[in-house]
């Protein structure tokens, strides 16, 4: 049975909606997240395997590769969706946290493609990257996230060129405003450093971090179906 592996499938996010969309369209889905308990809502669906996967850990990635290989399913699509989207002025950004964003949003996706390269090339597979309009629009207070998504876009566009001769398709979807838990996970925890130069607007930044800014947002379920239909995503076969 053809299969897809999707990272970042915790409840309330894009990955979760993609998992159910692919499952409805006849794929065996390997839904992954840092914690399987955050994907419990998917457990009862047929043709759904839940895997623990930390995209910054080579050990965790190799365990996922082994699980897919042992399953007997044919991996056709790899979806790099896992990501971190902190809100923090660049002057106040903790550097260790900044590096973690790049490890997850940029290098984690590349590490997965490298780990699954044999099966992707042998089967003429497809790599889908959930990118962001922040790579182009660069809104304030999300500088590290913006930079990580710009780096992801350039990295994966280069990978698209390099994998095309090997028969592997690479897509990077420039995603807009989606109503996900990623945009609210800082609720109740956002704090500026005591020496921040932005304390006068801390309340506004907290609203941003908690996802309260007034902008139209697409639901994760609508995003999953629209992206699949308009982009192709290799779901109905190679283009």
What is the Cα Rg of the chain in Å? 18
Of the residues 38, 145, 185, 223, only one is catalytic, namely: 145
Beta bridge partners of 47: none
- 223 annotated active-site: no
CA–CA separation, 162 and 184 (whole Å) = 37
Return all residues near 224 (Cβ < 8 A) that are at least 6 apart.
Answer: 14, 17, 18, 20, 21
Closest CA to 90 of 200, 193, 211, 176: 193
| Listed residue (167, 155, 171) closest to 78, CA to CA | 171
Report the DSSP beta bridge partners of residue 173.
130
Q: How many Cα atoms occupy the beta-carbon half-sphere of 104 within 13 Å? A: 20
- Residue indicated by tokens 């001769």: 165
Burial class (CB in 10 A: 0-12, 13-18, 19+), 170: buried
Q: Is 202 helix (H, G, I), strand (E, B) or coil?
A: helix
Q: Determine whether 145 is an active site residue.
A: yes
Of the residues 38, 149, 185, 223, which is catalytic?
149
Instruction: Give just the sign of the alpha carbon dihedral 205, 210, 211, 214.
Output: negative
| Tokens linked to 192 | 């500026």
Distance, C-alpha 7 to centroid of its chain: 6
Catalytic residues: 145, 149
């Amino acid at each position: 049975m053809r299969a897809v592996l999707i990272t970042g499938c915790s409840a309330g996010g894009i990955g979760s909606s993609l998992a159910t969309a692919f499952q409805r369209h006849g794929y065996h889905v390997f839904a992954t997240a840092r914690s399987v308990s955050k994907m419990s809502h998917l457990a009862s669906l047929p043709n759904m395997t839940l895997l623990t996967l930390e995209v910054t850990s080579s050990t965790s990635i190799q365990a996922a590769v082994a699980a897919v290989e042992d399953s007997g399913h044919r991996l056709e699509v790899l979806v790099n969706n896992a990501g971190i989207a902190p809100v923090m002025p660049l002057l106040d950004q903790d550097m260790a946290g900044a590096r973690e964003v790049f490890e997850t949003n940029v290098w984690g996706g590349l590490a997965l493609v490298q780990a699954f390269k044999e099966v992707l090339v042998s089967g003429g597979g497809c790599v889908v990257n959930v990118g962001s309009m922040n790579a182009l629009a660069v809104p304030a207070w999300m500088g590290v996230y913006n930079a990580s998504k710009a780096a992801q876009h350039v990295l994966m566009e280069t990978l698209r060129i390099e994998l095309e001769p090997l028969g592997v398709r690479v897509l990077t979807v420039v995603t807009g405003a989606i109503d996900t838990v990623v945009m609210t996970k800082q609720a109740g925890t956002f704090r500026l450093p005591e020496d921040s130069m932005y304390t006068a607007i801390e309340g506004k930044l907290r609203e941003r971090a908690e996802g309260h800014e007034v902008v139209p947002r697409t639901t994760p379920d609508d995003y999953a179906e629209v992206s699949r239909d308009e982009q192709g995503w290799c779901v109905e076969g190679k283009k």
